[in-house]
Amino acid sequence: MSGLATASVGDGPVRFAFLHGLFGRGRNWTQIAQGLAALGHGSVLFDLPNHGASPWTTTFSYPESAAAVCAEIDHRLAGKPLILVGHSMGGKVAMISALRRPELFAGLAVVDISPTESGQVSSFGPYLTAMRGIDLTTLTGKADADRQLSATVANPAVRQFLLTNLRDRGGWHWQPNLELLATSLPELAGWPEIGPVPFEHPTSWVVGERSPYYRAEDLTLMQRYFPSVHKVVIPDAGHWVHADNPSAVITALAELSAASPS
């Protein structure tokens, strides 16, 4: 696979690398990265495989995605004291990246996900069905797509998020690899069995106070892989923690940076 698409934010030395969740893209982290840039930290925002402007693949697994991220870091950012930040699906990619290649990272932030089965991912199935059900050859615009999605996806904010993936470049198309993602939901929900070698560097488990993904008992699982983990509960936040309370997330990441090797 060719290199992943990335975007840089901030003029300071690169300190953070950001990974998005399902149906997301690197720019979902722009507000957080801009807040960190104001503190002097540069960031790189990744589009994960099968998302955004990054290449599609024929199979999905978390180890494959982690390998792609680490290869890009080896190529572009090796030797920098990076803190890897991942949300949801991207959080699982981040955990595996840190466990497999700990020498690449000074710290880790896992945002609203745990190293275990995530049954909530099944709720994305209807979204995939609705997105794939739109006839792109007759689509008149995003308003038309929104109308068609509304029959299945009642929440306007969710529809708006999904529609950020719809592009018109000589014809409408979805940027994510919807066919592969639809057949990979069990893998997306799962957690691969990997060796017990822990990641020893500072780790923050950043969770939304109101998130259905947050289970306090999962701290024990986090401690198995990340013995230095520190739990940060973000108030007034659901699963999309960085959108619901960005200032608190910026503070949490700045504190993690201060506690991590530089």
Which pLDDT score, from 0 to 100, does residue 102 have? 96
Active site residue 239: yes
Cα-trace Rg, the chain:
18
Please tell me which residue in 75, 173, 179, 262 is annotated as part of the active site.
Answer: 179
User: Which residue in the block uniquely carries the two structure tokens 């290649």?
Assistant: 101
Please tell me which residue in 239, 242, 257, 260 is annotated as part of the active site.
Answer: 239
Dihedral angle computed from the Cα positions of residues 225, 254, 15 and 80, in that order, rounded to the nearest 10 degrees = -60
Encode pLDDT of 21-49 as tens digits. Answer: 999 999 999 999 999 999 999 999 999 99
Task: Give the closest residue to 130 by CA, choosing from 162, 86, 97.
Answer: 162
Which pLDDT score, from 0 to 100, does residue 84 have? 99
CATH 3.40.50.1820 segments of the chain: 6-118+190-259
- One of 1.10.3720.10, 3.30.1280.10, 3.40.50.1820, 3.40.718.10 is the CATH number of 6-118+190-259, namely 3.40.50.1820
Encode pLDDT of 127-161 as tens digits. Answer: 999 999 999 999 999 999 999 999 999 999 999 99
8 Å CB contact between 97 and 65: no
Which pLDDT score, from 0 to 100, does residue 78 have? 84
- 120 three-state secondary structure: helix
Active site residue 184: no
Which pLDDT score, from 0 to 100, does residue 120 have? 85
Which pLDDT score, from 0 to 100, does residue 197 have? 85
Active site residue 200: no
Positions of the chain with pLDDT under 50: none
Which pLDDT score, from 0 to 100, does residue 196 have? 66
Which pLDDT score, from 0 to 100, does residue 2 have? 63
Edge-to-edge strand list for the sheet holding 229-234 = 6-9, 42-46, 14-19, 82-87, 105-111, 203-208, 229-234
Which pLDDT score, from 0 to 100, does residue 193 have? 85
What pTM was computed for the model? 0.96
Please tell me which residue in 88, 97, 204, 211 is annotated as part of the active site.
Answer: 88
Which pLDDT score, from 0 to 100, does residue 1 have? 56
